[in-house]
Structure 1
Amino acid sequence: MGTFVLVHGGGHGGWCYQPVARLLQAQGHLVYTPSLPGMAEHVHQLNADIDLEMHIDDVVNLLFYEDLHDVVLVGHSYGGMVITGVADRVPERVGHRIYLDAAYPSNGESLHEHAYENIEPQRQNIYTENGVELVMRPDPAFAGFFGITEPDLAKWTNERLSPQPWKCFSQKLFFKNEDAMRAIPESHLICSSTIPGRDMDLLRTRAQGRVWDIDTGHDLMLTEPEWVAETLMKVARKQPTN
């Protein structure tokens, strides 16, 4: 059985992986769904020091203190920045990187630079609360922004979305062990609507063809949890997913 660490994206928390985690656990897999510092149930701990590096360190610490090895590390959206940093910091603990409609940064790149068209509108709406610069102020329209159209699921999601410290999006990610990180196998599960903004040839080359897409909203772990869970398991078993 595999060990999965599922890292959420901006504005989310570990809660967004509930459906996928339950499906993986039902098959006997060990699953961790951490909420990053300042997010979800940790929102009361928001402070001006929270940034991308703190989020990376948080997952690195999880791998160390739980003594996890050969981890299938999954990142959604902004979580792609985090898992890339984690795999760069502790490549010896990561067995596979899976990018779930996620950011795929180059060395020295911030999420703001990497996904400018999506992040710049958030930057233009920065607000300050208790000394922390925040973006993604909770809004009833956000579930729709993430591609969730089913009313009950949209309501459930909107009730749980939380603001994101701007530093997480503006801080650049600098690699320390890029060769070791790149040597870790990677796979990409992509929403069809985001393909035009991606270098698909690069992804297919680096992932040795392990790139699959599905026509659904950006929050595919909520809109298509069965497909996501099954694909994650097949990737972890090193089986073809087609």
Structure 2
Amino acid sequence: MAITYVLVHGAWHTGQCWARVVPRLAASGRPVFTPTLTGYGETRHLLTPDVGLRTHTADVVRLLTEADLRDVVLVGHSYAGLVISAVADEVPERIARLVYLDAMVPADGENAIDVMPVTRSMLGTGWRVPPLPALPAPFGLFGVTEPGDVAWLRTMLSDQSVRCLEERVTLANPAAAAIPRTHIHCTVKPAGFDRRPVPAVQPNGEPADVRELATGHDCMITAPGELAGLLLDVGEPVGAGSMRS
């Protein structure tokens, strides 16, 4: 089984945020894709009030189908936990494992505000939602505190639409429940950003697979080696169509 990694960035970011992780994964000989979702970064000129979760789901589904990617380890960071969940519902046959990287994990019919209620405080009066401000150490800008890294991260950040937070995910395909899941939690996080407990049993009946990284939210910037090691570990195949850690 030829594993392919598809790394999906979270809100306000771009695919460039994975730049330190990609060489480490690619050294294993496996293809790595890091799409930038519509409306962010180099595609910020495409941002409109209509861009939302369905737009971003379609972005990733299009990548998987047009490039004919299969046996995909699909990684979603933060908001992209909703995206990869929706993608799995549409094309479960292409996905070998879902990896929720410090991510929102929705149930059918939920949106980002349901999954993480603190998100509601980000909504203003318009349709644009600007990136979160930097916080005092150790939390920094999305968990990034080193000045050079903060400056680099700021070059990637742009607004997102309210629709991204309000649009609800549809999870109706029973085949998606068979996909194994891994949850990677970053342990340095500010108050109010509590995540839901991971159920002891995955939807496919396997025990929960939860890993931790002792760093902030943007672990692909602050701990790329450790993150790549975890992703390589969960990408080890043990049989056709599925993987275990």
Q: TM-score, normalised by structure 2?
A: 0.88
Q: Output the CA distance in 1 between the equivalents of 2:87 and 2:195.
A: 24
Q: Which structure dedicates a bigger proportion of its chain to helix?
A: 1
Letter in 2 for 1:232: L
Q: Provide the residue aligned with 2:97 in structure 1.
A: 96
Q: Output the CA distance in 2 between the equivalents of 1:93 and 1:208.
A: 22
Q: How many residues align?
A: 231
State yes or no: 1:135 paired with 2:129. yes
Q: Provide the residue aligned with 2:122 in structure 1.
A: 122
Equivalent positions of 1:149-188 (< 5 A) are 149-177=145-173, 179-188=174-183
Describe the shift of the 1:189–1:137 C-alpha distance in structure 2 as closer, same or farther (beyond 3 A). closer
Q: Provide the residue aligned with 1:199 in structure 2.
A: 197
Equivalent positions of 1:80-95 (< 5 A) are 80-95=81-96
Q: Output the CA distance in 2 between the equivalents of 1:163 and 1:196.
A: 23
The CA deviation at 1:140 is 6.0
Percentage identity across aligned positions?
38
Letter in 1 for 2:197: D
Equivalent positions of 1:1-242 (< 5 A) are 1-117=2-118, 119-123=119-123, 125-127=124-126, 133-137=127-131, 144-177=140-173, 179-193=174-188, 197-200=195-198, 202=199, 204-206=200-202, 208-238=207-237
Retained in 2: the 8 A contact 1:139–1:158? no
Letter in 2 for 1:166: V
Q: Structure 2 stretches of 5 or more lacking a match? A: 239-243
CA RMSD of aligned residues (A): 2.1
Retained in 2: the 8 A contact 1:138–1:158? no
1:21-64 per-position Cα deviation (integer Å, ceiling 9, x unaligned): 12111221100000001111100111222110111011001100
Q: Output the CA distance in 2 between the equivalents of 1:7 and 1:167.
A: 18
Q: Output the CA distance in 2 between the equivalents of 1:219 and 1:161.
A: 12
Letter in 1 for 2:170: F
Retained in 2: the 8 A contact 1:138–1:163? no
Q: Output the CA distance in 1 between the equivalents of 2:131 and 2:218.
A: 18
SS in 1 for 2:7: strand
Retained in 2: the 8 A contact 1:135–1:164? yes
The CA deviation at 1:160 is 1.4
Describe the shift of the 1:114–1:138 C-alpha distance in structure 2 as closer, same or farther (beyond 3 A). closer
Q: Structure 1 stretches of 5 or more lacking a match? A: 128-132
